[in-house]
Structure 1
Amino acid sequence: MFLKSLKIEKGSEEIRNIRFRKGLNLIVDETPTSDEKKSGNNVGKTTVLRLIDFCLGGKGENIYKDSEFKSKGNTAVENFLKNNDVLITLTLAEDLEDKSSSNIVIQKNFLSRKQKVQRIDGQSLSNGAFTTELKKRIFGSDKNKPTFRQIISKNIRDEKNRLQNTVKVLHSSTTQDVYESLYLYWFGIELDFDHADRKQKLSSDISVELSLQKKLSQTNTLSQIEQLLLIVNRQIVELEKEKSAFEVSENYEMELERLRNIKSKINKTTNELTRLELRKELIIESKYELEDEIAHIDTSRIETLYKEAKSLIPNIQKTFEETLNFHNEMVSEKLEYITQELPGLETEISHLKDEIRSLLDREAHISDLLIRKESSKSLPDLISELNQFYEQKGGLEEARKLWEESNQRLNEMRSELDRINEEISGREGELKNRITEFNTFFSKISSRLYSERFVLSADVNSKGYELNVSSLSGNLGTGKKKGQIASFDLAYIQFADSIGIKCLHFILHDQIENVHDNQISNLLTNIVSEINCQFIVPVLRDKLPDDVYVDDCKVLSLSQEHKLFLF
């Protein structure tokens, strides 16, 4: 899929209609570097890339907000976009050289709710459905993971992490499970099930289960519980023998049967009471933790973290105050949700305690009827001591049950995760062959740029596969790193075409001027023209080498007097 055009309209007025071509597409800032009073900044050349990204499901805030200082964005641009009914139309084409080839027309504006425009070929879609539909239309896939935005992340190199990293193009907090699904997809390794979605869910659930076990182990481990149960059961047996030593009445069998039934009920009721009290304690503990989270939240620290996150995630929509309020509201709602069960639990616990007291009174009464002689220990004391051990036994058995159920869940989840990993490992040979083929293109392009061959490798560890790029020179400078990134992106298009993987045939690459003139010339005048692609580059005219014929490749000319939005 290629870029055909990008149109900017203000109401019925057409502001820009950028027509893209095959090969090199230059968005040129004509501001001369010799004029010290003029700057090549803020004319809109990078904004073109971000408008394309916006139409492909991006948030669009980076168009008018500073990546570091969100409160110091370009208010004039934001007001222009939101107050003037500005509509952005991006047209993609299956083949730029075939006029009859299929097109995809994407339209978006910067408004919200009922005024929001978000259409694909005239069909309005919600946020989730929008990117899902783009994934179906462009890549022919309806699986949940990887997402459309993840797949195209390497095609839009306009933000810091994507300008500095060759393959780690997602947010810095992205887990290896997510990257593994993305890498497998890039190289055409698709399983028969949505393994990425399921694997990520299993990994998350395992982490939750391990947290639960950590909480349980703060009281007793499973091994400790089993040993304590042996001691408690031994004490119960000994005390029961003491009770049986008492001489009983003439109605021995009948009274003893009644006594056994009552003891059985006491045991069952005590177990249930212990279970409910444990449940109540866990809810109250969670309640205190949530209340503490609201009461002791360090707003200054969160604000610092929020600013750092904003610098890494430029498209976060919410302000810090909204985020903090949202956090407190969510915690309050969570507090209300987890405590709504408490009144019912307390009522049930009270009822069970009353029932136990009644049963104990009946047990004591029957035992008194059975006693004919004195004992070294009175029957009420024996019964009281027995009840304490039965309560301990009930609590320990409930804790053991929680441990055993948790272990069973962990074993089941780990077994399923192992099966998924085994199925992925079964495709290892295919993945290595694909990467070997990719490296034929990658190393060739990098060799032409730097007389050095970069290679990609798929390395596996306990968390799955990850991709790494290596070279003989070790660490790379900024310019050479960008050359490596460009080599990777161009090589991927060649590779995908060679084995029939659907891909975007355009690359948006900002800050290309960091590459040395020798490599820029080779890249822009020779290599790009030989590949079935579009290489879209915003750049200052004076930053390009003389042998790059700017006017032949220019699709848009901007300056301080002639900015993108013409205001």
Structure 2
Amino acid sequence: MLIEKLIVRKTAPQKEMIREIPFNLKGLSLILDNTSDRSQDSGNNVGKTTAIKIIDLCLGAKSVSSLYYDPDTRSENLAIKELLNESKVEAELVLRKQNKRIRIIRQLFNRGKRIIDGKEYTQDEFWEELKIIMFNLKEPYPTLRQLIPKFVRVNDSTDESIIKFLTATSNDTYDTIYLFLLKILRNDLLSEKDMLSVRLKECENKHKMLEKDVHITSLDSLKQKNELVEKELAELLLKRKQLNYMDTYKDELEKRRLLTAQINVLEEKSQLIEFEVTSIKKNISKLEGEKNNVDLKQLRYLYNEAKEYMGELAKTYDKVVSFHNAMIQNRINFIIMQLELKESELVEVLTKRDALLEEKKKLTIDMLDEGLLEELNLLNTKIEKLNVEKGEINQSIKILEGVDSEIKDISVKMKEINDQLDPDSINKKVSIFNKYFSAYCEKLYGEKYWFVYNSNWKEQKKFPVSLDSFKGRVGTGMKKGVIVAFDLAYMKYAEEMDISAPQFVIHDKLENTHINQLKTIFDLCNEIDGQYIIPILRERVGKVDVEFIEKVKVLELSSDDRFFRLN
């Protein structure tokens, strides 16, 4: 999958070309910032990274605001924003897959459409279709936007962005991504593995929440407690049975026994309802906290984001805040209704129980020996108390065993999948990747780095993959070059292993890379059967052969010729 060209045009009031950028189908494509040396000129806002951002939008990035909003200064380029919306600007990305062309249109204004080969898609459908086109992947996981940032690196590099190219992403997800990229496991198993990981995390969190409840300790502790209660209960029941009752009192005693059994049933039911009432009250308290602690800063950002897509909104920001609180209050009101039903049910159960207790009190056996009656009453009181305690313990055990059973089932399924990971096969594939990666690093820095898949990462509580070198960690100054080596090596790996993946790599912000490494990177591009696309200041490549630079240049910008031609 190659990028043939990018077209950006106005569509209103009539069609008008802004840019048409044909990319080199093999090797290097440079987007040059040719800002003059006049002191008032600056290369920071001519739009040299805009082409990359637009390509990223065509490949599923969400927000067109990245074209005019600067998160560092929290400011907007109003001229670009106005141009996009009033001239209904759209981008067309032409991809080439073997001899077939795929045309992707992303409209860069509010409520803009997403179109592939003339067919309009919703955002989710757009992602799914692109994932099939780019990676031949139909399964839910990994997602398109978990994969594309590996090939289109738009954001600033961080210390670990060589292998950690996503934000706020779990180790399980990264494991799925790398197993997919290296084609170590079948796609269907990878997708199932990722879904199981999400479910397992949810169950573990639920288990922790239950153990924090005042009525529930650990499952083993509950079972030990239950055994002690049952043992004591059995002893008391035997002792009551051994009392020498006369036939005269059998009917009265049987009626008392039946009443006790009914009371115990109601007591167990009331305990369960009380547990549910407590949980509902905690949810209400949590929602009240959400209403009182709403992140106004985040809500303001979402409100502004909505304005970008929809234009002027019918509701003011204050009304949005009120609406947000009203929505939470509606949820609270709904849960309060459920609470009232449960509390009403609890009152009904307790009323029935109390009525039976009153009936039991009225049941006397006058003719029974006074000492025997006192002993019998004492035994029955202890038995009733133990039965209630046993009911609470069994209910807690049932809840925890349900969660533990689900965790066990998920763990078994995940083990079945993980057992299919053959260490020899993994090492063989990683070795093929390192054949290219180590060679590229050595050409760049005279030092070999290698990529490692950590098979026991979960047990060791490590990241699934890592980079190693003879000198230890990758230095900050070398990081950009190692990222280039990593991504170009993957392109060679995908080619050798016949993996369906983009045959292009797009990098931003290579200005800090030393000129010697830049020359080596440009030389490496001749070895790949794919594309390496970068925006860069012309002055950074001034020492590279001029004829070569002109040959690989696909776009040149300056303060007099900015990307959107707004000067």
Shared fold by TM > 0.5? yes
User: How many angstroms apart in 1 are the aligned matches of 2:376 and 2:437?
Assistant: 87
Aligned equivalents of 2:284, 2:246: Cα separation in 1: 51
Alpha-carbon deviations, 1:197-248, whole Å to 9, x = none?
Answer: 3232233223223323432467544444445445655268548956985966
Distance verdict in 2 for CA 1:370–1:421, change over 3 Å:
farther
Q: How does 1:514-525 map to 2 (within 5 A)?
A: 514-524=512-522
Give the drift of 1:278. 1.7
Q: Cα–Cα, structure 1 residues 377 and 430, in superposed 2: closer, same or farther, change >3 Å?
A: same
User: Are residue 542 (structure 1) and residue 545 (structure 2) matched?
Assistant: no
Query: 2:208 corresponds to which residue?
Result: 211
State how far apart, in whole Å, the 1-side matches of 2:115 and 2:51 are. Answer: 19
* CA distance in structure 2 between the partners assigned to 1:77 and 1:5 by the alignment: 22
- How do 1:285-434 residues align onto structure 2 when only pairs under 5 Å count? 285-295=282-292, 297=293, 332=329, 334-336=331-333, 338-368=335-365, 371=368, 373=370, 377=374, 387-423=384-420, 426-434=421-429
- How far 1:4 sits from its partner (Å)? 0.8
Q: Distance in 2 between matches of 1:396 and 1:502?
A: 55
The answer to whether the Cα contact below 8 Å between 2:223 and 2:397 also exists between their aligned partners in 1 is yes
Which residue of structure 2 lines up, in the alignment, with residue 126 of structure 1? Answer: 122
Q: 1:357 Cα deviation (Å)?
A: 2.1
- 1:370 & 1:46 partners in 2: Cα distance? 99
Q: Distance in 2 between matches of 1:368 and 1:255?
A: 7
Alpha-carbon contact 2:156-2:509 (below 8 Å) kept: no
Give the corresponding residue for 2:81. Answer: 78
Letter in 1 for 2:88: D
The whole-number CA distance in structure 1 between the counterparts of 2:266 and 2:367 is 24
Partner of 2:305: none
Task: Please give the alpha-carbon distance, in whole angstroms, between the structure 1 residues aligned to 2:342 and 2:372.
Answer: 40
Of 8, 15, 18 in structure 2, the residue corresponding to residue 15 of structure 1 is 18
Partner of 1:489: 487
| Aligned twin of 1:554 | 553
1:498 aligns with 2:535: no
Give matches, 1:12-161, under 5 Å.
12-22=15-25, 23-32=27-36, 34-59=37-62, 60-70=64-74, 72-95=75-98, 101-113=99-111, 116-161=112-157
C-alpha distance in structure 1 between counterparts of 2:169 and 2:319, whole Å: 24
- Cα RMSD (Å): 3.3
Which amino acid in structure 2 is aligned with residue 492 of structure 1?
A: Y
- CA 144–326 in structure 1, closer or farther in 2 if over 3 Å, else same: farther
Give the distance between the partners of 2:120 and 2:244, measured in 1 at CA: 85
Could you list the per-position Cα deviations for residues 499-545 of structure 1 after superposition, in whole angstroms to 9, with x for gaps in the alignment? 20112111111122221111212222x22123111111111212213
**Cα distance, 1:84 vs. partner?**
1.6
- Offset of 1:437 from its aligned partner? 0.8
Q: 1:434-513 to 2 correspondence within 5 Å? A: 434-463=429-458, 466-513=464-511
Counterpart contact for 1:92–1:104, Cα < 8 Å: yes
Any idea what SS the aligned residue of 1:124 has?
strand
User: Could you say what secondary structure the match of 1:160 adopts?
Assistant: coil
| 1:518 maps to amino acid | N
Classify 1:246/1:111 alpha carbon distance in 2 versus 1 (closer, same or farther; 3 Å): farther
Over 3 Å counting, the alpha-carbon distance change for 1:257 and 1:378 in structure 2 is: closer
Q: In the superposition, relative to structure 1, how do residues 28 and 480 fare at CA in structure 2: closer, same or farther (>3 Å)?
A: same
Deviates more, 1:322-331 or 1:399-408: 322-331
- Percent identity reads 28
Give the aligned residue type for 1:540.
L
Write the distance in 2 (CA, Å) between the matches of 1:107 and 1:436.
Answer: 39
In 1: Cα distance, 2:386 partner to 2:300 partner: 52
* Aligned equivalents of 1:161, 1:322: Cα separation in 2: 39
Displacement after TM superposition at 1:382 (Å): 6.9
Is the 2:215–2:396 contact (alpha carbons within 8 Å) kept by the matching residues of 1? no
Structure 2 counterpart of 1:563: 562
Q: Quick check: 2:491–2:530 contact (8 Å CA) kept in 1?
A: yes
Where 1:457 maps in the other structure, the secondary structure is strand
Q: d(CA) in 1 for partners of 2:182 and 2:143?
A: 15
Q: Name the CA distance, whole Å, in 2 between partners of 1:268 and 1:21.
A: 79
Q: Which amino acid aligns with 2:449?
A: F
Q: Determine if contact 2:287/2:328 at 8 Å carries over to the other structure.
A: yes
Q: Secondary structure at the match of 2:455?
A: strand
Match of 1:271 among 228, 247, 268: 268
SS in 1 for 2:511: helix
Q: Supply the AA of the counterpart residue of 1:53.
A: D
d(CA) in 2 for partners of 1:402 and 1:435? 44
* Distance in 2 separating the partners of 1:336 and 1:103: 55
| Number of aligned residue pairs | 541
Deviations 1:15-63 (A, max 9, x none): 111111122111111113x322211121111011000001000123322
8 A contact 1:513–1:544 mirrored in 2: no
How far apart are residue 390 of structure 1 and its match?
3.6
Q: CA deviation at 1:449?
A: 2.0
Distance 1:232 1:530, change over 3 A: closer
Aligned residue identity for 1:437:
I
- Mean Cα deviation higher: 407-416 or 450-459: 407-416
Residue equivalent to 2:304: none
Rate the CA distance shift 1:235–1:454 in 2: closer, same or farther, 3 A.
Answer: closer
Q: 1:310 maps to which residue?
A: none
TM-score (norm 1): 0.86
Contact 1:146 1:196 in 2 (8 A): no
Residue aligned with 2:281, SS = helix
More displaced stretch, 45-54 vs 362-371 = 362-371
CA contact (8 A) 1:209 1:410 kept: no
Name the counterpart of 1:3: 3
Give me the whole-angstrom Cα distance separating, in 2, the residues matched to 1:400 and 1:45.
62
Distance 2:318 2:56 in 1: 28
1:4 counterpart letter in structure 2: E
- Judged with a 3 Å threshold, the aligned counterparts in structure 2 of structure 1 residues 139 and 80 are, in CA distance, closer, same or farther, namely same
Tell whether the 8 Å contact from 2:23 to 2:554 is kept in structure 1 after alignment: yes
Q: More deviation in 354-363 or 6-15?
A: 354-363
CA contact 1:478–1:514 (8 Å) conserved in 2: no
Report if the CA contact (8 A) 2:89-2:109 is conserved: no
| Equivalent residues of 2:452, 2:465 under 8 A apart | yes
SS across alignment from 1:15:
strand
Residue type matched to 1:560 in 2? S
**What is the Cα deviation at residue 3 of structure 1?**
0.6
**For 2:241 and 2:355, how far apart are their aligned partners in 1?**
20
- Contact 2:252/2:365 (<8 A) preserved: no
CA–CA distance in structure 2, aligned partners of residues 471 and 227 of structure 1:
52
Distance 1:322 1:120 in 2: 38
The AA in structure 1 aligned to 2:490 is: Y
Q: Which runs of 5+ in 2 are unaligned?
A: 302-308, 310-315
The amino acid of 1:211's aligned partner reads K
Q: Residue 370 and residue 240 in structure 1: after superposition, are their counterparts in 2 closer, same or farther (change >3 A)?
A: farther
Deviation at 1:497, TM superposition (A): 0.7
